[in-house]
Amino acid sequence: MSQTTVPAALPVQSRPLVLTEAASIPRALWLTVTGITLALVGGTWDFAWHMSIGRDTMWVPPHVTVQLGGILIGIAAAYAILAITLSGSSAQRDTSIRLLGLYAPGGAFIAFWGSVAMFASEPFDNWWHNAYGLDVKMITPPHGLLFLGSLAAKVGAMAWIASAMNHSADPLLNRLRWLFLVVGGLGVAQFAKLIVVATFTENMHTAACYLAVAVFIPSVLLATGWGALHKWGCTIPAAIYTAISLGAEWLLPLFPAQPKLGPVYHNVTHLVPMGFPLLLIIPAFVADLLLQKLEQRSFWFKSICVGPAFLLSFLAVQWPFANFLMSPASRNWVFGTAYFAYGDPAGFSYDPYKFAGAEKPALFVVVMTIAFVASIVTTRFGLAWGNWMRRIRR
């Protein structure tokens, strides 16, 4: 894919003047993004492990992979903090903030906190399971801590990269921009996992499904798109999310697995993937087109146009696609609708190829109205977040 940047019509204040230009992307940034990627791989693997095998011990390979990712993030951030603090270089400190006598880009401090939270979540999770049982619920305080830590690492990495972008010129700026878009795509993947239950195929004809998307997806997608100053800044992260999800969908079933916990409703013989990705790339493309047309308009005007357009376009493609996912034509390795977790009573206590009962018409209208309002608010938040990253210098 060729690199296309936003035309020079962008307002001058959206990107600060170049102060200094490094020769290459700092190793600490590369290591941070590697750690974030490892943590996402481990998290995706962990979902499949729970659905195929069950949580048998604390030291299952997916948990180790997540923690290794968190450790790499912590090492990278700590290295950057100590290197800048001990260097005594005024040039490096010009692009740093001071916290407790330490100097580093603000994003490095945020990423370091995220790594600490990720590392702390594992023993907390082990204690929680010992106290309350294995796989009682997906949403628990330890999982919440892990989610927040992983999110903080991504927010920190994006802020760190953005500050470097704001002090760089081509060609380094273009490489940093692509790294920024990659982290944004990993963020979209994380939020998509957060709403996985609400967006199960059987829920795709309910207003609650689209409310979940409106609440969680536009913020990170618009923040990445607006902050990157790239013509397709929303489409590329959505494409990265799609590629990650398809990779998991097609590769995980190649690995053998057997349940170790009960009850077992399905004779699972391989890792079970999460499911086919949401069609977020279409509304992301619509958002990019609108942002290009509305470049000079106010943020609230953009939000009122982009948020509902994002949700409407998603509804227009996901609703009919859900019909296809319920059909026999989708029960293959490409779309993966024939995979079921070993503990899922699909086919025993419910029909997995039948939509959940939609809300009554009046409630459906109310929830969808809330979803459209939420899409405006989260789009506005995403634009504000992205604008902050356009301006961040330290």
Residues 281, 341: one domain? Answer: yes
Is 261 a domain residue? yes
Question: Per-residue pLDDT tens for 221-255?
Answer: 999 999 998 999 999 999 999 999 999 999 999 99
Residues 256, 330: one domain? Answer: yes
Is 9 a domain residue? no
Is 56 a domain residue? yes
Residues 278, 388: one domain? Answer: yes
Q: How many domains does the chain have?
A: 2
Residues 306, 392: one domain? Answer: yes
Residues 143, 182: one domain? Answer: no
Which of 105, 137, 167 corresponds to the end of one domain?
167
- Going by pLDDT thresholds of 50, 70 and 90, the confidence category of residue 15 is very low
Specify the CATH number for the domain of residue 241.
1.20.1450
Residues 219, 321: one domain? Answer: yes
Is 8 a domain residue? no
Distant-in-sequence, close-in-space partners of 153: CB < 8 Å, separation ≥ 6: 32, 35, 36, 39, 70, 73, 110, 111, 114, 115, 118
- Give the up-direction half-sphere exposure of residue 63: CA atoms within 13 A in the CB hemisphere: 18
Measured between alpha carbons, how far is 185 from 47 in angstroms, rounded to an integer?
19
Q: Can you give the pLDDT at residue 227?
A: 93
What percentage of the chain reaches a pLDDT higher than 90?
Answer: 58
Q: Are 269 and 255 in contact (CB under 8 A)?
A: no
**Is 0.85 surpassed by the pTM of this model?**
yes
Residues 273, 362: one domain? Answer: yes
Is 13 a domain residue? no
Residues 239, 270: one domain? Answer: yes
Three-state DSSP at 85 gives helix
Is 6 a domain residue? no
Three-state DSSP at 99 gives strand
Residues 137, 210: one domain? Answer: no
Residues 67, 190: one domain? Answer: no
Q: Can you give the pLDDT at residue 169?
A: 78
Which of 116, 146, 167 corresponds to the end of one domain?
167
Residues 154, 285: one domain? Answer: no
Residues 121, 210: one domain? Answer: no
Is 301 a domain residue? yes
Which of 110, 133, 167 corresponds to the end of one domain?
167
Is 4 a domain residue? no
Question: Per-residue pLDDT tens for 125-168?
Answer: 777 777 776 655 667 788 888 889 999 999 999 999 999 888 87
Measured between alpha carbons, how far is 265 from 346 in angstroms, rounded to an integer?
8
Distant-in-sequence, close-in-space partners of 370: CB < 8 Å, separation ≥ 6: 211
What percentage of the chain reaches a pLDDT higher than 70?
Answer: 91
What is the domain range of residue 293? 173-394
Q: Where are the alpha helices (DSSP H) in the chain?
A: 27-52, 61-87, 90-93, 106-132, 141-165, 172-194, 207-228, 235-251, 281-293, 299-325, 361-391
